[in-house]
Structure 1
Amino acid sequence: MYARKDYYKKLGEQLRKVDHEDKKVEREKRREKRMKEKIKRKQGEMEEEEEEEEGHEGSASSSEETGRKRKRAKKMYFDDNGDGDEEKEGGKINTDAISTAELEEMALKLITQS
């Protein structure tokens, strides 16, 4: 009876050791695979950049090539009717003096112009 317990205990320990070693090997394989994929991805990105540079010889209009973001367009402020009812403060319209209906009308005009 004791021989059986010892046998199964040793067998369990052996299986745990083998499982631990298998896990180590599997982790290493996954790590190597990730590294290879990362290297391939970086090489692909470098090749794409080189192709873009060759395709755009002499032109520095692209924001990617210059490394700068494209400037945003300036805001445009529209004078509704020129009534003088609304006051502009720093380019903004004071909406306190405008009725809701007029605001809706202005919004519709802006939407239809776009």
Structure 2
Amino acid sequence: MFVAYHPDYVVDIGAGHRFPMRKYGFVYDQLIAEGTLCAEQVVAPEPVEVESLLLVHHRDYVERFLGGDMTPREMRVLGLPWSAALVRRARLAVQGTLLASRLAMRHGL
């Protein structure tokens, strides 16, 4: 079994935010600590290419998200405070999902 994970999946969104961002790191740490997962099974994704994002999102939206120029409504829908770290996290998570899917197809679940 392989797992796509990157430490940058966890970003600081403020202590009072309701989204449990730290859970990603906690789950990874627990799986490693209990031996369910070993480091050799972890594959770290690179950020997804912008061209891939443009296959499913409008160019204007992608550019606003990447540049931190989202509208107040888009920010409310996003539900997380924008930062360069959040952009990196999102790009890593998308590529991680693609990577995990490809690994599952190649090696099974």
TM-score bracket, shorter-length normalisation: under 0.3
Larger radius of gyration: 1
Bigger fraction of residues in helix: 1
Answer 1 or 2: higher relative contact order, Cα 8 Å, separation at least 6. Answer: 2
The normalised TM-score by structure 1 is: 0.22
